[in-house]
Amino acid sequence: MNYRHEFHAGNHSEVFKHALLCALIDHLQLKPKPICVVDTHAGSGLYDLASPEAVRTGEADRGIRLVYPKRTRALQRYLGVVEHFNPDRLKLYPGSPAIIRHLLRGEDRLIACESEAAPAGRLRRVMDGDSRVAIHQRDGFAAVHAFVPPKERRGLVFLDPPFENPNELSLSVEALNSGIRKWPTGIFALWYPIKGRSQISKVKKPFVGDVPTFCAEFLANAKSEEGLTGSGMVIVNPPWQYDKDVHAICKALVPIFEQTGSGYSTEWWVRPR
């Protein structure tokens, strides 16, 4: 499928993905030592929900606009970040690099990679010369091998490809496996879209890691077999008790999408020893 952010900004899969991302960074920042986050497919960083692309799909209406008023405890952190970019009313949706940058502390760093020139240029404008942020116009899968382990030896690699090509899922898992071999103690998160039903088996089969790995899938449209029904996230070396946060976030999302048959599932591929 083609998952270009301009068309899908603020949809249900973005809500799920970014709520989990915020929780991951919060866990990493429980310790005072600096962290580095590598965002492999950063996009342009900030999206206008009134743009022709967003209006054409209308996916934000069935995503962030449903969730935004629901200030449950599990969603409060994520929705607070979205609110930062919308002090008056919901007009903009922050992509992963904007969310990460907002959460960075003084000594933390973000390495944001975007292969296409136009969105990379827009991302530079969004980041406004922030010295904590390095933007690279380069292939995101190759960036995993290039930038790990970071000098901080603490942090996260966030893989969020557009899935424009049929082989991108295999490329994602290859990059994930490569990163784990170089940085076996690092935290990695791989997001993937779901069309139809569960995709866990397709992602799990080529995965070769033997470090703690947790996978969660959220379906916002379980009654449908067509289109984007949900998405999943594989988290390698998840922080202690992070799985409880994932359950809390998913439980908070399920009733919001109950009319379309929402649900979620989780699975430990490799349990902590």
- Catalogue the active-site residues: 160
DSSP alpha helices (H): ranges in the chain? 5-8, 12-28, 52-57, 64-67, 73-84, 96-103, 117-127, 140-147, 168-182, 200-204, 242-253
Count other Cβ atoms within 10 Å, centred on residue 73. 8
Q: What SS3 class is residue 268?
A: strand
Tokens of 132: 């904590």
Q: Kindly report the backbone phi and psi dihedral angles of residue 195, in degrees, each rounded to the nearest multiple of 5, phi listed first.
A: -110, 120
Question: Which candidate, 23, 22, 67, places its Cα nearest to that of 254?
Answer: 67
* CA-derived radius of gyration, the chain: 17
Question: Which candidate, 27, 47, 54, 62, places its Cα nearest to that of 253?
Answer: 62
Cα 149 versus chain centre, distance? 20
DSSP state of 40: S
Question: Which candidate, 143, 182, 149, places its Cα nearest to that of 42?
Answer: 143
